[in-house]
RNA sequence: GUCCCCAUAGCUCAACGGAUAGAACGCAGCCCUGCGAAGGCUGAGAUCGAGGUUCGAUUCCUCGUGGGGACACCA
């Protein structure tokens, strides 16, 4: 399954058992297809010259590799071992793409059941760009993990009760002038709009600000669902209500569990969880001295629910403002016995407008909602743009520029490559790629480079599934597009002599398959025309 | 004050401790009477500063400098 893993398996036979080493795709200018630095590692342990060791291993590899697997294995530079895969192997991979179609690039790497929680923004207003970043990341990561073999549930945890919602209710009352305004209230246009629309309802519920807030939150959640699922095409399997977590008694259950395990204690009239035992910098209150469970305790109950529903692996994507929350929730995950609990913290998106920074704040109401970006730039563009960048990068985003340059966005470059490929097949009226073609007819550098690049798809999935680096996909998309554009400029399909034409159309058909699989994993459309 | 993230080309971003630091945009040239030029080719252009670890540092460590964020019995 995949050329790289085959090479890894071969190399493994020539080094000490259990040794961890890398086989990487060699960069373009190095000419080789794959390379390993295993000799450097061994040189350190054996205190020998890496070149010597590399030579020894290279010979061993040649002896142990299947016949005709490598075109060449050589030692280069200070001790790299370079691999040149034979055209037969590339040809086999090409046939595999054509045989597997949609399944090409699905792996049996991960057997686990994963709950992926993301966005989970309070339904107290529109989503911010940071929410959107986490949304695209979560959606695409879910796709990657599924391709890698995991069973994934995508969850949005809805804070539909508590203080923030109470504040929302009060904000509505203040907006209608029923109670005096306050610094802490939400002030965006959306507050006023909603308040104006439901004036009579607000008047009726003026004694019950929490219920009012819940009412508004329900509406806002509806807007969020539309923005996320319909417009941004971010999928969720489950919306979990915090209110229901309280109602089903899970909060009491998790509290009892903490007590039983000896991680909770009372002090100053409140109940605390000993999160410092797991590296947090202070212990956290779970029951206030008024006797109310904190948000944190409810979230712990939510984790318990997830665990009880059969998930041992939880991945939670948080925005930058929740960084301080990581240590305590990880403490909970440990106490509850999750096998894996990963928290990915995305960094903020700084929104620039004509060179100056625009502060984003829900409370102050000055913000560019995520949905506006999606509508104006387009779902594909917004998604691709956000996913091109590593989550920990502090991204500067100029909305005006993004709209203006949308035609030059890399997503068009990538989609255009697909359109060109598709167009070749359409023009030649090929619906099914020829099955019996002669792979030796694919012999030019452009032919081989394209197959090479196609064969990387499963490797990219594997890498991204391991380190959750979803931006590998968009980077790969650009590389594949570039390779195809190069091929397209240099080689022809239609009009070539029969055997070449068949082989090339098979190659182009395979390119379309990989593009389609890649696009669906990233979550963008595969246009037939542009 | 404490903690976390970031600093790479004019701009926005890449690069498991490895070979000549990549790409798109912008800039200067060139390429359509052959599958769509939303494309291809060529060129100029960068690792914040000072130490350290290493055969080898953009990457790891320390100290600076400059940005962003977090430090509630809010969520």
Q: What is the pLDDT of residue A400?
A: 73
How far apart, in Å, are the Cα atoms of A239 and each of A235, A383, A421? 11, 22, 40
| pLDDT tens-digit series, residues A7-32 | 999 999 999 888 888 899 887 666 78
- Give which of A478, A439, A475, A445 is closest to A460, Cα–Cα: A475
State the pLDDT confidence band at A352, using cuts at 50, 70 and 90. Answer: confident
CB A141 within 8 A of CB A101: no
Question: Which nt sits closest to A352, CA to C1'?
Answer: B12
At residue A363, the pLDDT reads 46
Model pLDDT for residues A320-340, shown as the tens digit of each residue = 999 999 999 999 999 999 999
Helix/strand/coil for A265: strand
Q: Is the Cβ–Cβ distance between A284 and A273 less than 8 Å?
A: yes
* ipTM above threshold 0.90: yes
Closest nt to residue A285, judged CA to C1': B73
Contacts of A183 (CB under 8 A, 6+ apart): none
CA distances from A468 to A66, A106, A315, A456 (A): 33, 16, 10, 17
pLDDT higher than 70, residue A205: yes
d(CA A185, CA A473): 41
Helix (H, G, I), strand (E, B) or coil at A81: strand
Domains in chain A, CATH or no CATH each = 3-85 (3.30.1360.70), 95-109+409-522 (1.10.730.10)
pTM as predicted: 0.95
Distance A40 CA to B23 C1' (A): 29
Residue with nearest Cα to nucleotide B54 C1': A44
Say what the pLDDT of residue A358 is.
67
CA of A28 to C1' of B9 (A): 20
Q: Considering only CA atoms, give the Rg of chain A.
A: 28
Which residues are within 8 A (CB) of A503 and not within 5 positions of it... i.e. 6 or more apart?
Answer: A437, A438, A439, A441, A442
Question: Nearest nucleotide to A320 by CA–C1' distance?
Answer: B69
Count of alpha carbons within 13 angstroms of residue A38, beta-carbon side:
31
Length of chain A: 530
Determine the distance between A481 (CA) and B28 (C1') in angstroms. Answer: 26
- Residue A397, strand partner residues: A351
Query: What pLDDT band is residue A364 in, cutting at 50, 70 and 90?
Result: very low
In whole angstroms, B60 C1' to A519 CA is 36
């Amino acid at each position: 399954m995949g050329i790289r893993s085959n090479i890894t398996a071969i190399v493994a036979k020539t080094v000490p058992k259990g040794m961890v080493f890398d086989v990487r795709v060699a960069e373009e200018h190095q000419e080789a297809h794959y390379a390993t630095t295993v000799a450097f590692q061994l040189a350190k342990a054996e205190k020998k010259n890496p070149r010597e060791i590399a030579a020894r291993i290279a010979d061993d590899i040649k002896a142990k590799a299947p016949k005709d697997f490598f075109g060449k294995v050589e030692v280069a530079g200070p001790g790299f071992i370079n691999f040149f895969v034979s055209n037969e192997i590339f040809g086999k991979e090409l046939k595999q793409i054509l045989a597997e179609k949609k399944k090409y690039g699905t792996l049996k790497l991960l057997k686990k059941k994963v709950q992926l929680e993301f966005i989970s923004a309070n339904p107290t207003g529109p989503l911010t760009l940071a929410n959107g970043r986490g949304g695209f990341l979560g959606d695409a990561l879910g796709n990657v993990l599924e391709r890698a073999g995991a069973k994934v549930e995508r969850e949005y945890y809805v804070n539909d009760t508590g203080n923030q919602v109470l504040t929302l209710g009060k904000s509505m009352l203040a907006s209608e002038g029923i109670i005096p305004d306050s610094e802490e209230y939400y002030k965006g246009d959306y507050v006023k709009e909603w308040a104006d629309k439901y004036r009579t309802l607000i008047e009726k519920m003026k004694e019950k600000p929490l219920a009012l807030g819940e009412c508004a939150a329900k509406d806002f959640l509806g807007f969020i669902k539309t923005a996320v699922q319909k417009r941004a095409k971010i999928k969720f399997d489950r919306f979990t209500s915090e209110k229901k977590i309280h109602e089903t008694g899970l909060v009491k259950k998790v509290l009892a569990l903490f007590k039983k395990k000896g991680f909770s204690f009372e002090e100053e009239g409140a109940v605390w969880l000993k999160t410092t035992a797991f590296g947090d910098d202070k212990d956290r209150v779970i029951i206030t001295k008024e006797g109310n469970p904190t948000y944190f305790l409810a979230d712990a109950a939510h984790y318990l629910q997830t665990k009880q529903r059969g998930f041992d692996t939880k991945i939670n994507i948080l925005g930058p403002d929740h960084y301080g929350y990581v240590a305590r929730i990880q403490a909970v995950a440990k106490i509850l016995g999750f096998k894996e609990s990963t928290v990915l913290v995305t960094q903020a998106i700084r929104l620039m407008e004509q060179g100056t920074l625009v502060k984003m704040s829900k409370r102050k109401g000055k913000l560019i909602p995520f949905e506006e970006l999606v509508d104006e730039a387009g779902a594909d563009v917004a998604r691709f743009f956000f996913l091109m960048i590593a989550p920990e990068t502090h991204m500067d985003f100029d909305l005006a520029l993004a709209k203006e340059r949308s035609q030059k966005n890399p997503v068009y470059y990538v989609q255009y490559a697909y359109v060109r490929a598709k167009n070749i097949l359409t023009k030649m009226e090929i619906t099914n790629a020829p099955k019996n073609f002669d792979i030796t007819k694919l012999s030019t550098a452009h032919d081989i480079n394209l197959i090479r690049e196609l064969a990387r798809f499963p490797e990219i999935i594997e890498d991204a599934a391991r380190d959750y680096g979803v931006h590998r996909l968009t980077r790969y998309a650009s590389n594949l597009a570039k390779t195809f554009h190069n091929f397209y400029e240099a080689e022809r399909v239609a009009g070539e002599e029969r055997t070449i034409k068949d082989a090339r159309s098979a190659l182009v058909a395979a390119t379309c398959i990989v593009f389609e699989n890649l696009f669906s994993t990233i979550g963008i459309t595969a246009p037939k025309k542009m």
